[in-house]
Amino acid sequence: MKTISIPYYTSTLDLHVDEANLKAVVTAKMHEYKAGKTEVELVHEALEHPIASPRLRDLAKGKQKVVLVTSDHTRAVPSKITLPILLDEIRQGNPDADITILIATGLHRPTTEEEQRRMFGDAIVDHEKIAINNAFDPDQFVHMGVLPSGADFNVNKLAAECDLLVTEGFIEPHFFAGFSGGRKSILPGICSQETVNENHSYKAISSPYANTGVLEHNPIHEDMLAAAKMVNVQFIFNVALDGQKKIIAAWAGDLEKAHAEGVAFIRKWSQCPSITGDIVVTSNGGYPLDQNLYQSPKAVATAEACAGEDGVIIMCCSCADGMGGTHFEKLITMGTVDEIDGYLSKIPPKETIPEQWCPQIYARILKKHPVILVTTYLKPEEVRKANMIPASTPDEALEIAYQMKGRDASVVVIPDGVSVLAVKE
């Protein structure tokens, strides 16, 4: 019997699989990568040697209004380490710069002060100017033009009106944007709900290029990149993280070229051939990404790449913060997966409902694969309403899957489905 630890909320859950059934445990090589330097050293090194760009301190000279965009509570960006160094770098160039830290929420709820203190540290919360993007407040945004898809581009005024716009984030495979990081800090990070919704329309999500690891011809990525250029992102800082959410690499500099180098690293260290199993067990990487069901299609999409025909997917996701959005909850529980997909397919891009892309992706997967959801925070009836099968432990879920697929079913385990880029060969 093999015991495998599955990330779950702030800890792990144990999965026990008979070795005769276990076909593979799929992990990103990145979790084994050793940088040979401390996290702080990696941050300083990236800032000292920016890619295709002057140093941030040089860009800051003579710039009065500086906006530094960072991620919200749903992302594991190690801002407690990176933000103080970035702020110091800016002030090295201009000690009197008026700096605003702008939290990129996309369509998520506002980040609480408690969460800010956990993410940034008390000193930054107590002494720095912090603003939170609110996609639902039209007064926060200014219209800057039309994106390649035809979507209207409305971005936070603070970013549009500053003298220097800087973003920080981390890069990982993304289930419809190809990869996170770089341009994604702007769209969806600090855009209005109308812009985010249209970027995530049924038509865009349905594109065969809107997929994990794909940037070329990806309409979602193309709009995101155009948005970041239009608002004049002058400097980005992105990191790669291992399984313990520790920095193992960092890139700084030009919007496209620095991001491209980060993407090349992530692709090299996270990509692996998909291994097909009758049952695929995965997680959303634990906290903070498994706070709600809305975030969990990321890992389910990875499992989909490894699930055989009619294969069963087991998803471990705490959902400590519930379903994760009133629109998502309403859509994912509105009927059968065919009814959900049929309803969403009729919605024009400019009328896209917030959060509809996750029910759309779930519907696509659920048409082919039963999904067993391991959670101790959602009630079983809530899980069933979302067209999934409830379980309270990985072992309970595996037993349910065996009953569906047979006792000799092959099992593939992807402990962290967010960090793996599974590619069919």
Its pTM stands at 0.88
The pLDDT score that the predictor gives to residue 144 is 97
Q: Tell how strand 178-179 and strand 173-174 pair up.
A: antiparallel
Q: How far apart are CA 298 and CA 74, in angstroms?
A: 13
Q: Is the pLDDT of residue 244 over 90?
A: no
Q: Is residue 360 a contact partner of residue 335, using CB atoms and an 8 Å limit? A: no
The pLDDT score that the predictor gives to residue 425 is 59
Measured from the Cβ of residue 326, the count of other Cβ atoms closer than 10 Å reads: 11
Catalytic position from the list 73, 108, 221, 259: 108
The pLDDT score that the predictor gives to residue 267 is 94
16 catalytic? Reply is: no
Tokens 């702007």 locate to: 186
Q: Tell how strand 235-241 and strand 247-253 pair up.
A: antiparallel
Backbone phi, psi, residue 83, to 5°: -60, -50
Catalytic position from the list 174, 200, 221, 327: 174
Nearest one of 111, 110, 128, 121 to 66, comparing CA atoms: 128
User: What rounded mean pLDDT belongs to the chain?
Assistant: 95
What is the rounded average pLDDT of the residues 272-287? 94
The pLDDT score that the predictor gives to residue 30 is 83
Digit-coded pLDDT (tens) for 23-38:
999 998 887 899 999 9
Digit-coded pLDDT (tens) for 108-120:
899 999 999 999 9
Question: Which pair of structure tokens corresponds to residue 107?
Answer: 């369509």
Digit-coded pLDDT (tens) for 324-347:
878 999 999 999 999 999 999 999
Neighbouring residues of 404: CB distance < 8 A, sequence distance ≥ 6? 312, 370
Q: Is residue 171 a contact partner of residue 185, using CB atoms and an 8 Å limit? A: no
Q: Is the pLDDT of residue 368 over 80?
A: yes
What is the rounded average pLDDT of the residues 126-139? 97
Q: What DSSP line would sit under 149-208, residue for residue?
A: TS-EEEEEHHHHT-SEEEEEEE--EETTTEE-SGGGGTTTTTB-HHHHHHHT-HHHHHST
Measured from the Cβ of residue 114, the count of other Cβ atoms closer than 10 Å reads: 10
Q: How far apart are CA 61 and CA 227, in angstroms?
A: 25
Opening angle at CA 194, ends 79 and 262, nearest 5: 35
What is the rounded average pLDDT of the residues 66-87? 94
108 catalytic? Reply is: yes
Q: Is residue 8 a contact partner of residue 320, using CB atoms and an 8 Å limit? A: no
Q: Is residue 183 a contact partner of residue 224, using CB atoms and an 8 Å limit? A: yes
The pLDDT score that the predictor gives to residue 423 is 79
Q: Is residue 376 a contact partner of residue 290, using CB atoms and an 8 Å limit? A: no
Nearest one of 263, 177, 169 to 223, comparing CA atoms: 177
The pLDDT score that the predictor gives to residue 28 is 86
